[in-house]
A and B are shown apart, each in its own frame.
Chain A
Amino acid sequence: DTGVSQNPRHKITKRGQNVTFRCDPISEHNRLYWYRQTLGQGPEFLTYFQNEAQLEKSRLLSDRFSAERPKGSFSTLEIQRTEQGDSAMYLCASSLGDPFGYTFGSGTRLTVV
C-alpha cells in the first residue's frame, strides 16, 4: 500500500484524557502535514514537518497539542487533557515537493465525550 495511513480511524475519549494519533506517510515523501477538519469546514492547517524538523505550527495548535516525526518517517500527534472542542477529523498529508497536491490519509475522527 503506497498511500498515507492513519491510525486509529476512530477514537472516542473522555474529556481530560490524552490521545495520540499516528500517521505513516508515503515513504519517499519528505514533507508531512497535519490538518484538522470540523463539520462544515475545510481542513485547517495545524503543523508541517520537513523530514524530522517541525518547521511551522499554527496558532490553532495550543500547548496541549504536540507533534513529532522521529527520523523523518511516521508522525504522531498527541492531544493532552482533551476538551470537547477538540472533537474533529484529524487529517495527515504528505508530499514530495510543493506545490502540487498533497496525498491525504483517511483521517482519524476524534470524539471527546
Chain B
Amino acid sequence: DQQVKQNSPSLSVQEGRISILNCDYTNSMFDYFLWYKKYPAEGPTFLISISSIKDKNEDGRFTVFLNKSAKHLSLHIVPSQPGDSAVYFCAASEGSGGYQKVTFGTGTKLQVIP
C-alpha cells in the first residue's frame, strides 16, 4: 500500500525555469510533509517541510504547496539551477507510538539542463 506517491519518475527542466515536483498521499492522518533531496552515493538531505495546518511554506528558491482536500503537495524550485539536479523524495509523517513515523515516496529524478 503506497501511501505516498510520486507519479513522475523523472523531470527535465531548462536552467532558470521553474521546476514543479508533485506528490499525492492517501493517509489523512499525516500531519507533516517533507521534501528530501538525494545526490548519487549520498544519503537524502532534508530540504523543506510543511505542517498540515498550512498551505504554503517558502525557503529561498524552494516553495512547498499543500492542498489537503486533494491530498496533494508540490515543490516549486524557482529559478532552477544545474546543481538542483538530484532525486527528490516526498515524505509524510504521522504520530506513532510517541514519535513521528515518516513514509517516503519513490522519488522524482530532476535534471536541470544548462
Contacts and interface: CB of A to CB of B under 8 A. Distances in A.
Interface in B63-81: none
The B interface is mostly helix, strand or loop, or mixed, namely: strand
**B45, B96, B100, B106 — which one has the most chain A CB atoms within 10 A of its CB?**
B100
Interface residues of A, number: 27
Contacts, number: 70
Interface stretch (A42-50, A67-75, A79-87): A42-50
A13 interface: no
Interface residues of B, number: 29
Given A41-B106, A44-B104, A104 B43 contact: yes
A61 B102 CA distance: 16
A99 B100 contact: yes
B101 A56 contact: yes
Interface of A: 4, 6, 31, 33, 35, 40-45, 48, 50, 55-56, 91, 93, 98-107
Contacts of A93: 43
Contacts of B46: 100-103
B22 interface: no
Nearest to A58: B101
Interface of B: 4, 6, 9, 31-32, 34, 36, 41-46, 49, 89, 91, 93, 96-107
Contact of A43 (B6, B49, B89, B98): B89
A10 to B, nearest CB: 10
A102 B104 CA distance: 12
Contacts of B44: 43, 91, 104
B97 A45 contact: no
11 contacts: A4-B43, A35-B104, A40-B107, A41-B106, A45-B103, A48-B101, A56-B99, A98-B93, A100-B32, A100-B46, A105-B43
